[in-house]
């Protein structure tokens, strides 16, 4: 007997006392919890996002579409970034004013190659106000998962209000499970040493989120 058969057999025997029940799953779990917490206008939801992002030590900037290129350029210059990783489908205009060398997101790059790049600029798939979370789904303007992981500085652009939802349930509705998803809530952190929070262990130590109208 294979281990598969053995385990499945054990499961079935273990449940021998349970009377058969074919209630459809939708009826088993009453999803009577809230779809979002509290009532907010669109602008209030965006404000909550900004607040919660900042609460978890992301640096939040708000700007218009027209101001975006100069803001990105300034943030990179402030970091003295010499190079920036660019997902293949990133809007060309976003980096138009930045005076840095661009590194394409390529299959051939080794992790060491990525480690030599200072910053990365990506878009996102959705942002969650209640939790201060941005979610990346590997779309063309976000690139492979590793490019937003290895460089120490991540600039993430959120289009508001279109990409902002209030809650976790609303975010899951918008996301496609088949894509590789990375949920990011503030820069990486640890509280492993006497519960003192230290920002930045392995992921980017600086996360800047640009909310763009």
- Peptide bond preceding 212: is omega within 30 degrees of 0, i.e. cis? no
Per CB under 8 A, 111 contacts other proteins: yes
Q: Which of 144, 157, 160, 165 binds other proteins (CB under 8 A)?
A: 144
CB of 2: closest distance to other proteins in angstroms?
Answer: 7
Q: Whose CA is closest to 45, among 127, 143, 116?
A: 127
Candidates 67-75, 89-97, 156-164, 182-190; binding stretch for other proteins (CB under 8 A): 182-190
Per CB under 8 A, 188 contacts other proteins: yes
Candidates 74-82, 93-101, 117-125, 192-200; binding stretch for other proteins (CB under 8 A): 192-200
Q: Residues 63 to 102: which contact other proteins by CB under 8 A?
A: none
Burial letters 187-206, b for 16+ CB under 10 A, else e: bebeeeeeeeeebeeebbbb
* Residue in the structure block whose two tokens are 């990409």: 163
Residue 25 makes CB contacts below 8 A (sequence gap 6+) with: none
Q: Which of 44, 70, 101, 190 binds other proteins (CB under 8 A)?
A: 190
Per CB under 8 A, 161 contacts other proteins: no
Q: Residues 194 to 213: which contact other proteins by CB under 8 A?
A: 194-196, 198, 200-203
- What is the spatial distance between Cα 154 and Cα 165, in angstroms, rounded to a whole number? 21
Q: How far is CA 99 from CA 8, 86, 123, in A?
A: 60, 14, 20
Per CB under 8 A, 15 contacts other proteins: yes
Per CB under 8 A, 24 contacts other proteins: no
Q: Which of 133, 156, 157, 163 binds other proteins (CB under 8 A)?
A: 133
- What is the spatial distance between Cα 203 and Cα 137, in angstroms, rounded to a whole number? 17
Candidates 1-9, 65-73, 91-99, 155-163; binding stretch for other proteins (CB under 8 A): 1-9
Q: Which of 60, 91, 138, 139 binds other proteins (CB under 8 A)?
A: 138
CB of 164: closest distance to other proteins in angstroms?
Answer: 15
**What does the H/E/C string look like for 46-79?**
HHHHHHHHHHCCCEEEEECCCCHHHHHHHHHHHC
Phi, psi of 15 (to 5 degrees): -100, 10
């Amino acid at each position: 007997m294979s281990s598969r058969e053995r385990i499945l057999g054990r499961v079935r025997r273990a449940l021998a006392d349970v009377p058969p029940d074919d209630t459809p799953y939708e009826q088993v779990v009453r999803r009577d919890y809230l779809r979002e917490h509290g009532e907010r206008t669109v602008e209030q939801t965006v404000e909550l996002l900004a607040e919660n992002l900042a609460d978890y030590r992301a640096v939040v900037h708000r700007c218009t579409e027209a101001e975006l290129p100069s803001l990105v350029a300034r943030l990179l210059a402030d970091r003295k970034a010499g190079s920036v990783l660019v997902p293949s489908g990133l809007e060309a205009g976003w980096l138009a004013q930045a005076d840095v060398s661009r590194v394409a997101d390529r299959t051939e790059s080794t992790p060491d190659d990525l480690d030599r790049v200072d910053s990365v600029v990506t878009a996102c798939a959705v942002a969650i106000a209640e939790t201060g979370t941005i979610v990346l789904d590997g779309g063309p303007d976000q690139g492979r998962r590793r490019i937003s992981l290895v460089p120490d500085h991540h600039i993430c652009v959120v289009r508001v209000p279109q990409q902002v939802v209030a809650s976790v349930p609303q975010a899951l509705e918008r996301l496609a499970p088949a894509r590789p998803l990375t949920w990011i809530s503030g820069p990486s952190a640890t509280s492993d040493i006497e519960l003192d929070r230290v920002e930045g262990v392995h992921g980017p130590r600086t996360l800047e989120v640009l909310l763009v109208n």
